[in-house]
A and B are shown apart, each in its own frame.
Chain A
Amino acid sequence: MKKKLALLIAGTMVMSAALIGCGSGQAGGVPAASDSQEAPAESGASGEAVDEAVETEETAAEESSASGEDVSAIGSDDPEATELEHWTFTELFTAFYADMVEQWNEENPDKPIRINVHVLPYDDMHNKLQIALNSGTGAPDTVDIEVGRFSGFTEGDVQLMDMTEYAQPYKEYVVDSRLQLFSRDDKLYGCPTHVGATVAFYNEKLLGDAGIDYTTIRTWDDFKEAGSKYYEATGKAFGNLDTGTNMFFNLLLAQLGGDYLDEAGSISVNNEKVAEALQIMKDMQEANAVSLVPGGNVDADEGYAAYNSGEFAVMIMPLWMSNRFVNYMTDLDGQIAVAPVPVFDDSTTVLSACNGGTGTAVVKTSEKADIAAEFITYAKLSEYASVIQWDTLGNDPCNMSVWTDASVTENPDNRYLAYYTNNPFDTLNAVKDGIMILDSQTTKYYPSIGNSFNTEVFNAVFENGDDIQEILDIVQDELENEFAY
């Protein structure tokens, strides 16, 4: 008997040792905080991962990685209520969904909802989702997918639900390019969280001290001139030049009417327009109108620090930087003005570009897919949702009817409005009809293109001073090889 017991114990120990082995292997994995921060660099067009994460990023990461998963049940107590399982990678979204479910249940007493929000670390969540969708079991009903990872879920037999029909009631109010970003073949697979309109943030105080009036900057030539003047006067950097993210670059490329693809839709990153956009940035760098940001990305610790200490005066980034400004660049409170980005000339029709984002999707095979889609479109696209988005997260809301609603745009309690010297909604309204995306952003090529530019092209051109055409040709070959079949 004793021997049996001893054997049993020995067996258990061996097994647990083996399992611990696996566990520590995974501890090699990474916590959400760094992942989510890493996401912008990785996907290029994203920035989202950190985007909404800002305030609770660290705590959320710690909590979710400590317990592996953090579940909150929100909504109706009604036993008849539809129960949705939702996955997200941002703790802050839990509060957002709590608000939305409450409002939904009030407005729709006949179809109450209860939502279980599972907060998982960034990579973990996307990887689990991938595996669940690939294998056909274990997927949630609804899920937040970061834009950089979105294309991965729209390949092959798409397991996400087409929500076009459900989004119809909101469509006319919502920024169209934002919906395009999460659509494939005219099917809407994800609902956006914000517009992510790229704007110019000017440090009014620093510029004023150097005798520069930002309101006179209309074209990129003006911008370059002002930048040189500012640099001569102060010896400090003017605008941002990132090597780790292509948000600024995408804007220039869109304004030039270019793209990473040719007209037939094949990869052509070595085309004239791309080279031209790079040359324009390079010229601005040589004129000291833009300078390399420490860390290669304004949307990261070193970037925030550089701005906060006044080493840079201008930032060309999406408006969701608002929550970074308010939380990480607190010394600039009351100094920053938001304005439309410069253009090339009066014929430029692209006044802003959508960058970053999280798309909320519904899993097609879920039994509750219909009501889930109805709820998600409501929770992400409705006017009420947009108000909550702006008030709590500082994201430029997708539903444009909010942009002219004085109770929102003039809200004296809003800390984002209080931070800026002017009203960001004026800028949004001014660029309203010119917010675009690149066609390539919705293709399967985009994650790879963004990756190549963020790791290789920008570094080669702006950091090492390599020949533009040469590096573009190399990357073109590389991408052609990747998508050769």
Chain B
Amino acid sequence: MEERWVDWKQSTLFQNQVHEFGVECFETEESMKKFFYSTKAAPFVFICPFVLTVVVFWLLPIGKSVMMSFQNVLQGQEEWIGLRNYRQLLNDRVFRIAVGNTFKFTIGMLLLLIPLPMVLACIINSRILKYTKIFKTIYFIPALTSVVVAGTVFRLIFGEGDRALMNQVLQLFGGESVKWLRLRTTGYAALLILACWRWIGVNMMYYIAGLQNIPAELYESASIDGANGFRQLVGISIPLLKPTTTYVLTISINAGLSMFIESYMLWKGNNSPGNIGLTIVGYLYRQGIEKNAMGYASAVGILLLLVVLAINMTQLYLTGFFRKEESV
């Protein structure tokens, strides 16, 4: 019995069978491997989830929006009306107010939300300060706080009554109570403060990450050459933070142009007195959701998309984002 088994194991037939089995196993694995390692197929597989997400959640809705912007959309009816929505939009005074407000907010945000976080990041990243983790946390907490809660609290802080916090502060210095959220300038200031409070920590984090990428030797050699702290900031930190600044600029422009929720919460709704807090997205919401004019709202959305694209593209072009050799 034993001998016959040994014979069988040594027979060519057996060897062949084992070999074939092995080859089969190997081939299945090989074909999988081939598939994943193939320079042709693999990239598509890997980008598939992103592409699908973009197509399903971005491209299709945008396409549909473009269509709707040429339609009058009512329940169970979609009527093609050509450029009517756009023509109406050009004559729309409230839309112009919204555009004006949005640009004002965006510019205000850029003026505050780039230099301030950069300076804060430099301070926190330097060795002058102790307990930097605590400061980092404190600055970052607003980003984690719900805007809804924050907006409500800010609304109370900027209340009209004599007992509202800001008015009490004013009274402390002998001032009179101000109707913060009713006047154009103070309303604008309140909105900027809310936006800064919310975003400063996030932008600061980007800058800290950027700063930590700058090799310490540069500072070392600079200090040997006798450069003081300020000189180092201007000569090393700021130029080398350029990629970070480009990124922060891009997202800040986006955040500014698409501002809605801050204004919505601060004025407890989309209808601020005299439309002083109305943004483009707020106007889109008012038309599409509150007034059920989906077609018109789509036109507002498309216009906003074009504006954002134009601004961002120009800005990215100017900062050299598209130049290959400089991309980081």
User: Taking beta carbons and an 8 Å cutoff, which residues of A are in contact with B?
Assistant: 3-4, 7, 11, 14-15, 18, 22, 27-28, 30-31, 34-35, 37-39, 41-42, 123, 126-127, 130, 133-134, 136, 149, 152-153, 155-159, 243-244, 294-296, 300, 302, 305-306, 447-448, 451, 454-456, 459-460, 463-464, 474, 477-478, 481-482, 484-485
Contacts and interface: CB of A to CB of B under 8 A. Distances in A.
Contacts of B260: 28
Contacts of A456: 274-275
Q: Is the interface of A mostly helix, strand, loop or mixed?
A: helix
B273 interface: yes
Interface string B53-80: 1000100000000000000111111000
Interface in B87-142: 88, 91-94
Contacts of B320: none
A30 B265 CA distance: 8
B161 A305 contact: yes
A42 B270 contact: yes
Given A152-B292, A302-B161, A456-B275, A485 B88 contact: yes
A14 B50 contact: yes
Given A34-B152, A294-B161, A481-B92, A244 B271 contact: yes
Nearest to A156: B74
B81 interface: yes
Nearest to A243: B273
A3 B35 CA distance: 12
A244 B76 contact: no
Given A459-B182, A485-B84, A294 B160 contact: yes
B77 A156 contact: yes
Interface string B266-293: 0011111111000000000010011110
B69 to A, nearest CB: 15
Nearest to B274: A459
11 contacts: A14-B49, A15-B49, A28-B147, A34-B148, A34-B268, A127-B289, A136-B76, A157-B76, A296-B182, A302-B160, A481-B93
A485 B273 contact: no
B149 to A, nearest CB: 10
Contact of A37 (B81, B160, B268, B274): B268
Contact of B88 (A18, A126, A481): A481
A15 B292 contact: no
B261 interface: yes
Nearest to B162: A294
A133 B206 CA distance: 45
Contacts of A244: 271, 273
A364 to B, nearest CB: 10
B248 to A, nearest CB: 19
Contact of A448 (B49, B57, B182, B291): B291
A30 B264 contact: yes
B159 interface: yes
Contacts of B152: 34
Given A34-B269, A42-B270, A302-B160, 15 more contacts: A30-B264, A38-B269, A38-B271, A42-B271, A133-B76, A156-B74, A157-B74, A158-B75, A159-B75, A244-B273, A451-B271, A451-B291, A464-B274, A481-B93, A485-B72
Given A28-B260, A455-B273, A38 B75 contact: no
Given A127-B289, A157-B75, A305-B161, A41 B271 contact: yes
Contacts of A134: 73, 75-76, 294
Contact of A478 (B36, B75, B94, B271): B94
Contact of B291 (A4, A28, A152): A152
A123 B291 contact: no
Given A294-B160, A484-B88, A447 B147 contact: no
A28 B261 contact: yes
A42 B289 CA distance: 12
B265 A34 contact: yes
Contacts of B261: 28, 30
A307 to B, nearest CB: 12
A464 B184 CA distance: 11
A272 B52 CA distance: 59
B292 A41 contact: no
B271 A454 contact: yes
Q: Counting chain A CB atoms within 10 Å of each CB, which of B81, B92, B272, B292 scores highest?
A: B292
B32 interface: yes
B270 A156 contact: no
Given A18-B53, A28-B261, A34-B265, A455 B75 contact: no
Interface in B229-273: 260-261, 264-265, 268-273
Given A4-B32, A455-B273, A460-B274, A133 B75 contact: yes
